[in-house]
Structure 1
């Protein structure tokens, strides 16, 4: 038998290797062109947090990890495995460490509650106790003597979470919100509370129910804007107003106003120097699972943003500099100090690897003289839907849902804790 020469053997091996390489390239091309791959790429792109400096995009998108690749625990702030470059919007921002004091805890823990400060009193309303139980009463905290007391009931028809709320210094106006636990439907009912007599009165119902609408008093009218529509998910851009005075409605029907530029719930709404501001928020929210008899909450995609809009004498919405990072669940997490808006905690974009909700642990300052944002300091832990007050130079926050720990920004425990720190701001 004649053996092939070494030269012929080498040539044959080269041809085989080239052929195998070609087949591999063709298979890779077909895989990348398939709908499955395309859908994975679109999914990760649509859920990725935008870079902080939108004028200089620095985000690199990679195909979505499978379930067995996604880590369940740990700190993922600097996850660069396999060449990944993750957006920083979900990560903690640098800021000064503040000295915090733990004060008297609230009588109950609450999530998605509401709070209004009138002088040295903080009126704290409603909220979830657990996902299956909601509060239907008001607790009052006295900043002067660090005590809770004066509990009283809310009207039976009043919403229990996702409320719109504002005060004129005596009367508290309460608008719409979610009625009941889990992800039940909203109500259009509105009320007014006389904080001196603790008496409630009805007011004209909102044209349609809303979840967590932005609510403020401006130029003698009660303004209600945005929020989520009746399905709890679809952002609303509607804007209505009602003339009110001394706790009474001066009109029988709500007036349609200029729609807001971007809809959605969980944003801060503030009036300073006759200007109306809308800050942060989100589009989308949990929805009731179809067919569930208890309206069990079902997760849906959410987009958190840091947009800032202002309405003034020109009655046209103006765009102002955005927050340092997207922030939501801040509707009662703000105070105004020395012509600055101070915002505490919240939620930001979901973690790009785990897809879990990420809580915010910073205190932000928006200087209305310079229109500049800054990080005032760090909270003792990350927290969302916290309720904030300011008294005698102290910044207070209570309630909400805190993180799982310093290295895990996902939400865990609903709290009733009350904390304060000394806050000094130059005007």
Structure 2
């Protein structure tokens, strides 16, 4: 009995040990496979994220000795432990593009802060129009800056029927044409009214209204005609592709109705529109914008999906659109943020793609140059801060900009304060 019992006990122990060894080996192999697969997935996802959205995905540091990033870091947490992946850090900003530093000088600020205002320069004078003071208050006047004595001076009212923000605007050197735009605060819709200002007499006149209201349309005088295209439709969100023109001269309409022209290849608001001899350029912009909240008596703004792009289109004298090299990065809210200097278009600030996680708006702090001969882009400098819907001008070798909505600081590119600041830098091209 005793031998039989001892042999049975030994056999049982051996079987248990062998089973444990096999189980341990299986667990080890499974762990190694899972670790390898997880690493491969994260590496692939990281590469895809960098390629698709330009967001840098950084592994979680193992200790506190690593050097801090120049951009703020937002920790992405997974609520469910069941689905939790290895923790990662996601850059909270899109990196600013490399650019030389510019020496900026602060000038007298505008009499009032402005967001989504408009401007045109006529010789040594910058006419700054309307815009939001706050989301609940809009301006209905014009301020004038004199570059000769670097001071704000004249102020006069706009017509009561004229829109207050997101205007289409251009000038022939004396008359300023003001097209459509948003009437009132918050997120009210656009109107079709069109006006012209004689800057010598300060008198306003009406022009034929647009065939349909448009919000922030691309607007420019080109070859004797007032061209209006793109923008958003009445709901403030749907991109418009329509392109209309009206013959004008000396502040007068030579036609009773707008003429339909070839549609713009891509619609949307907040674009720069520049006429240079026999070419008309439309640069940047976006599709979609905030809409009024359904049923809101004050048309309270409600966020909607937006797509910011850096597309560049050129209309030639044969009325044919041609797509040109895109901007160094997507850029919107630049309708009055441009100047022409020595056969180049200079664009300052704007907004770029939204943060992929927080969906917050990201402001632009670079100065871009588009060479009209080579049709190539370059980044020629940095602004004192990131800013959108700023109003640009150029006089006596100085690049100026004023107003708009600036960032929260060097490490936070999201919008915060509406400003009236005026800055300038010497620009040699």
Instruction: Extract unaligned runs of 5+ from structure 2.
Output: 34-44, 59-69, 77-85
Aligned to 2:338: 334
Equivalence map 1:230-269=2 (5 Å): 230-269=234-273
Note if contact 1:306-1:324 (Cα within 8 Å) is conserved in structure 2.
yes
Q: 1:77/1:369 Cα in 2 relative to 1: closer, same or farther (>3 Å)?
A: farther
What does residue 405 of structure 1 align with? 409
SS in 2 for 1:139: strand
Distance 2:426 2:339 in 1: 14
How far did residue 146 of structure 1 move?
Answer: 1.1
Deviation for aligned residue 1:310: 0.3
Partner Cα separation in structure 2 for residue 17 and residue 231 of structure 1: 64
Matching residue of 2:291 = 287
Distance of 1:48 and 1:124 partners within structure 2: 40
Question: Does 1:105 find its partner at 2:106?
Answer: no
Cα distance per residue 1:330-349 (max 9 Å; x no partner): 00000000000000000001
Question: Is contact 1:385–1:401 with CA below 8 Å preserved after alignment?
Answer: yes
1:345-364 to 2 correspondence within 5 Å? 345-364=349-368
The answer as to whether partners of 1:87 and 1:352 remain within 8 angstroms in 2 is no
Aligned pairs for 1:14-413 within 5 A: 14=22, 50=52, 75-76=71-72, 82=87, 90-413=94-417
Secondary structure of the structure 2 residue equivalent to 1:178: coil
Separation in 2 of the partners of 1:100 and 1:168?
Answer: 30
Give the direction of change, closer, same or farther, for the CA distance of 1:367–1:182 in structure 2 (3 Å limit). Answer: same
| In 1: Cα distance, 2:132 partner to 2:174 partner | 26
The count of aligned residue pairs is 390
Alpha carbons of 1:122 and 1:293: their partners in 2 closer, same or farther (altered >3 Å)?
same
For residue 63 of structure 2, what is the aligned residue in structure 1? none
Change (3 A) 1:144 1:130: same
RMSD of the alignment, in Å? 3.1
Q: Is residue 164–residue 213 contact of structure 1 (8 Å, CA) maintained in 2? A: yes
Partner of residue 38, structure 1? none
Q: What displacement does 1:175 show?
A: 0.4
Return the alpha-carbon distance in structure 2 between the equivalents of residues 60 and 380 of structure 1: 24
**Deviation for aligned residue 1:219:** 1.0
| Structure 2 equivalent of residue 7 of structure 1 | 15
CA distance in 1 between partners of 2:51 and 2:193 (Å): 36
Structure 2 Cα separation of the partners of residues 335 and 294 of structure 1? 36
Change (3 A) 1:272 1:173: same
The TM-score with structure 2 as length reference comes to: 0.84
Q: Rg larger in 1 or in 2?
A: 2
**Contact 2:73/2:92 (<8 A) preserved:** no
CA distance in 1, matches of 2:399, 2:276: 19
The Cα of 1:87 is off from its aligned counterpart by 11
Unaligned stretches of 5+ residues in structure 1:
26-40, 53-58, 63-73
1:176 and 1:48 map into 2 onto residues whose CA distance is 40
How many angstroms apart in 2 are the aligned matches of 1:244 and 1:176? Answer: 16
